[in-house]
Structure 1
Amino acid sequence: MGKNVKLGILGDTHYPDKTSHLPDLIFNVFKSEKVDLILHTGDLTAPEVLERLTEISPTIAVKGNLDQTTLPEEKILEINNLKIGLIHGHQFLSLDEQILKYKALEMGVDILIFGHTHRFFYNKYEYMGKEVILFNPGSPTVPRMSDPTFVVGEITERKFKFRIFKPWETQWKHP
């Protein structure tokens, strides 16, 4: 049994290419929550975003379709016996749930965290004999047909819980 691990999770920040504002709330929440690790689903679009996040906590990011960096296309990490896959999602013609479930199975992960759609998404599936969580933190800066969002997650004993933060509203908790 490992210790509880707090994750700061965000993606599609698109600063400064699509927004001139990167909310301080992101950095303030990650600091005050004392996140152990930050995960970014890509489309950082500026190295200074990664630098600011890394000042708070170790940060793992993957390359989005608009990133001009040498970040990897995907990462797999293991936290408290949960395997987590991190991708942007632009690699797929469609980001429908079937394709994402297959990608999670191909990667051998319990949770697949992805971006690209700029919309929060969470669903848990029993699929081919395995439980799989698909998770998208949304975008805190340029959402599409949704509120701007980022997430603080916690992994304890193979369980994943999270709280959503909306830079211009109050937070709400996942049951």
Structure 2
Amino acid sequence: MKIGILSDTHYPDKTSYLPDLIFDVFRKEGVELIIHAGDLTAPEVFDVLREIAPVVVARGNLDKPIFPEEKILGIEDLKVGVIHGHQFLSMDEQTLKYKALDMGVDLLIFGHTHRFFYKSYEYMGKRIHLLNPGSPTVPRMSDPTFLVGKVTGERFKFDIYKPWETQWKYP
């Protein structure tokens, strides 16, 4: 299954530009699900994404309370958790690993920092992946990014897209 993954779009509250590349890539890649890890902030962005594929959103600190604070999805044989991350005083790796264990997920997708992050761990006898897609519009100390992931059984791979550059593959 192909999944579009993004976070912290902040349109139009912090940016007046939302790259068409996001929508073009999601359409071209044929994503079957879109995961937004919070701070979507605009209903019109949700509506455009929903025209491409079903959308799952975790409520960010600047979102209206229409979205849940966290979501757990079963995608093929992978259990995926989605949060924004503003709930934590510290978003260090230890906190995020424990949150993944607490949610019982293999992959925890989060946002809030506006920076791409990916790490895979063997932790307490379980394989855990932590993933922050970054922000395609208002990055902090990083390039703007969004992702297209592919889940096959228990395997997860993704391509990183940078609106101002070409994409590159990860794992």
Q: TM-score band (shorter)? A: over 0.9
Distance 2:153 2:65 in 1: 34
Correspondence for 2:63: 67
CA displacement at 1:69 relative to structure 2? 3.6
The within-5 A match list for 1:1-175 is: 5-175=1-171
CA displacement at 1:67 relative to structure 2? 0.7
Task: Write out per-residue CA displacement over residues 90-124 of structure 1, whole angstroms, 9 at most, x where no aligned residue.
Answer: 00001000000000000000000000000000000
Paired residue type of 1:12: D
Task: Write out per-residue CA displacement over residues 114-140 of structure 1, whole angstroms, 9 at most, x where no aligned residue.
Answer: 000000000000000000000000000
Aligned to 1:93, the other structure's residue is in SS state: coil
Tell me how large the CA RMSD over aligned residues is.
Answer: 0.6
Distance 2:54 2:75 in 1: 14
Aligned to 2:8, the other structure's residue is in SS state: coil
Paired residue type of 1:137: P
Q: List structure 1 segments (4+ residues) > 4 angstroms apart after TM superposition.
A: none
Distance 2:57 2:113 in 1: 16
Is there any run of 5+ residues in structure 1 with no aligned partner, and where? none
Is there any run of 5+ residues in structure 2 with no aligned partner, and where? none
Distance 2:122 2:40 in 1: 32
**TM-score normalised by structure 1 residue count:** 0.97
Distance 2:65 2:89 in 1: 22
Q: How many residues align?
A: 171
Paired residue type of 2:147: V
Distance 2:109 2:79 in 1: 11
CA displacement at 1:80 relative to structure 2? 1.2
Distance 1:19 1:99 in 2: 30
Aligned to 2:47, the other structure's residue is in SS state: helix
Distance 2:35 2:6 in 1: 6
**TM-score normalised by structure 2 residue count:** 0.99
CA displacement at 1:65 relative to structure 2? 0.1
